[in-house]
Structure 1
């Protein structure tokens, strides 16, 4: 387990990436969401590993990328600082299980651990928007949130809901929660 690896997950369109950007602006190490990076790469080429075309291929690729991100962060190692992950291995493996029915989440989650406290972005309809990279609607995002909210405690994580406040306040909330232990 890597106590300094902080997972930020939850509802798509719930403000996770904006929070990660704010934490990076404050000098923390951050890892961008694998899904967004994959979609950009696939759209730039002629790829079909897109969640709305082939969810299994997309999730398989997301697992590989999230594992590589986790390993790279471990190699960089900064014992004094936090590394914030915008989604990670758990998200990708959960999506893969939904797409294929194959059980991969538990073994991957045991091997690639994050800090036991995970920050969960709740559904927030007032800020949820779609774009070229996020084509699913609010109902699908809420369903994803509910799945993750259920699976994280089963994997031994404590979840803390991100407050629906301006991003600077949300970042302060996260940092204060981590400093308290």
Structure 2
């Protein structure tokens, strides 16, 4: 598997257990910032230029991510007597953990990877450039967990691909329980 190190130390995975962390990644601009930082560490100025937003707006969102442990300052440099900070991710992959104490507030309903993927993929669908599958299978919870583990490995492989080419591709993957109909047991 190709490994594309961002030039600083970071964990492979980080489980988000606090509702504030989940809310932090639920904002589309913050998700974009995190994705940009897969390539390398960047300054607020560089991030603002990449997303075509004011530096003050990007600085606010970087601050939210840093306060919640998703970003860190990985190096600094002096630019005309001002210390410029380079921000990097704290982990290659963030997962939302279901392990919270009963007193924790529930995460807001504004973070759904598939909602984001549906929004992002609309233009690709219209242009005939969307590749996708949806399948349903009646399986045990243990089988679903094992399948999820294997999917997480594929996501890690995708995350580690060297950044190249002109197009940024999205990759959505998941497994979830449904109310999909099933056939009754065969008679006799």
Question: Higher Cα Rg: structure 1 or 2?
Answer: 2
| TM-score normalised by the chain length of structure 2 | 0.25
| TM-score normalised by the chain length of structure 1 | 0.26
Higher relative contact order (CA 8 A, sep 6+): 1
